[in-house]
């Protein structure tokens, strides 16, 4: 069975990230002062109700942020959820109802809409990509091309949209890229084959982490030519990343893998978009990594409608 990266769930780690982001978001809006617009017009005792409503179709992601925001900012608000994360949403759908102190509702309006709009945007774009590969063996993966500080939140949203999470950080797996090989060759004067590097790294992990944990860690190596793939397959890395290969070359790479090391997973990467992903998936690769899922997602428009 192929090894897999950790899939981001709504756990203590993501909640801790979210708490820090919420504190920063409030500081951006209030500084160390107040929401003077609201305080000048709205009495402290005023209560009301608003509905967060979809203005576009998409995939819902980020609902757990709302109760966390209420708790962290000590808001006098109650939330009722009409949809859950991963649900398909349509224009006009009522997603969440917030009821309570009008001052709190107004002061945090942009905070909650910014968080939800971003996460729904990532989930929605991911679903669009995932639909393009339906019926093939390929799965769509995200990358580390994420907004600083937002990585777990954005990867959670990818998961909500039907995508699969690639490594969450440099700590999670080994990924040998062209720059690693270039430096190693130049600095050591050794013309090491790619397969040799896989063996060196595997032994290093075992020495550092012990045999069980060292062998558990994923080793991925990047190639951009079939000759390199042929060199590395006998060493059996867990994944080989096929960088910027056209569909004809990817098909040949899959055939070579099937002959030499069928257990090795192949990942296509490099400039993949909605026009090209279907053809890439049909070559037989196992994984397709798409940086656009996070670096090019556009916030989905959500309304904040008073009842």
Rounded Cα gap, residues 187 and 178, in angstroms: 14
Active-site residue, selected from the candidate residues 72, 243, 282, 301:
243
Q: Mean of the pLDDT values across residues 79-86?
A: 98
Active-site residue, selected from the candidate residues 222, 238, 267, 286:
222
Active-site residue, selected from the candidate residues 145, 172, 278, 282:
145
Rounded Cα gap, residues 155 and 152, in angstroms: 5
Query: Which domains are seen in the chain, by residue range?
Result: 18-126+298-306 (3.90.1170.20), 128-295 (3.20.20.70)
Is 103 among the catalytic positions?
A: no
Please list the alpha-helical segments (H only) found in 162-243: 178-188, 194-209, 211-216, 226-232
Active-site residue, selected from the candidate residues 19, 83, 94, 110:
110
3-state secondary structure of 243: strand
Closest Cα to residue 172, out of 2, 1, 20, 7? 7
Torsion over CA: 239, 290, 170, 10 (sign): negative
Is 243 among the catalytic positions?
A: yes
Residue 189's pLDDT is 62
Query: Residue 244: what are its φ and ψ, rounded to 5°?
Result: 55, 45
Digit-coded pLDDT (tens) for 264-293: 999 999 989 999 999 999 999 999 999 999
Closest Cα to residue 71, out of 22, 36, 28? 22
Please check whether residue 38 is in contact with residue 76, taking contact to mean a CB–CB distance below 8 angstroms: no
Confidence class for position 307, pLDDT limits 50, 70, 90: confident
Is 222 among the catalytic positions?
A: yes
Question: What do you get for the CA distance between the two ends of the chain, in Å?
Answer: 52
Tokens of 242: 């096929």
Is 110 among the catalytic positions?
A: yes
Confidence class for position 190, pLDDT limits 50, 70, 90: low
Average pLDDT along the chain: 95
The one-character DSSP state at 7 is P
Please list the alpha-helical segments (H only) found in the chain: 12-30, 36-41, 65-72, 102-107, 109-132, 151-160, 178-188, 194-209, 211-216, 226-232, 247-260, 277-281, 292-295
Please check whether residue 196 is in contact with residue 231, taking contact to mean a CB–CB distance below 8 angstroms: no
Lookup result for tokens 């004067």: 189
Tokens of 110: 């942009």
3-state secondary structure of 11: coil
Digit-coded pLDDT (tens) for 92-150: 999 999 999 999 999 999 999 999 999 999 999 999 999 999 999 999 999 999 999 99
Active-site residue, selected from the candidate residues 177, 190, 216, 225:
177
Closest Cα to residue 276, out of 242, 241, 247, 243? 247
Digit-coded pLDDT (tens) for 224-237: 999 999 999 999 99
Rounded Cα gap, residues 90 and 55, in angstroms: 7
């Amino acid at each position: 069975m192929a090894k897999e990266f950790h899939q981001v769930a709504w756990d203590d780690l993501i909640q801790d990230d979210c708490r820090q982001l919420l504190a920063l978001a409030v500081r951006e809006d209030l500084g160390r002062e107040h929401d003077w617009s609201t305080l000048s017009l709205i009495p402290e005792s005023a209560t009301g109700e608003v509905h967060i409503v979809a203005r576009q179709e998409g995939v819902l992601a980020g609902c757990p942020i709302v109760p966390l925001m209420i708790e962290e900012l000590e808001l006098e608000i109650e939330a009722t959820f009409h949809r859950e994360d991963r649900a398909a949403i349509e224009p006009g759908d009522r997603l969440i109802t917030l009821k309570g102190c009008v001052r709190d509702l107004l002061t945090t309006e942009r905070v909650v809409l910014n968080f939800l709009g971003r996460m729904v945007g990532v989930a929605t774009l991911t679903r669009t990509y995932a639909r393009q590969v339906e019926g093939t063996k390929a799965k769509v993966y995200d990358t580390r091309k994420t907004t600083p500080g937002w990585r777990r939140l954005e990867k959670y949203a990818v998961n909500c949209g039907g995508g699969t999470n690639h490594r969450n950080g440099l700590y999670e797996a080994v990924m040998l890229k062209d720059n690693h090989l270039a430096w190693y060759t130049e600095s050591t004067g050794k013309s090491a084959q790619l397969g040799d590097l896989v063996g060196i790294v595997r032994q290093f992990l075992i020495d550092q982490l012990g045999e069980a944990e060292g062998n558990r860690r994923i080793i991925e190596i990047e190639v951009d030519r079939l000759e390199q793939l042929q060199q590395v397959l006998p060493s059996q890395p867990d994944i080989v990343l096929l960088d910027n290969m056209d569909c004809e070359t990817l098909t040949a790479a899959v055939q070579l893998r099937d002959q030499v090391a069928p257990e090795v997973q192949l990942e296509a990467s490099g400039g993949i978009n909605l026009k090209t992903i279907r053809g890439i998936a049909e070559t037989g690769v196992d994984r397709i990594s798409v940086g656009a899922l996070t670096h090019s997602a556009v916030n989905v428009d959500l309304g904040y409608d008073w009842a």
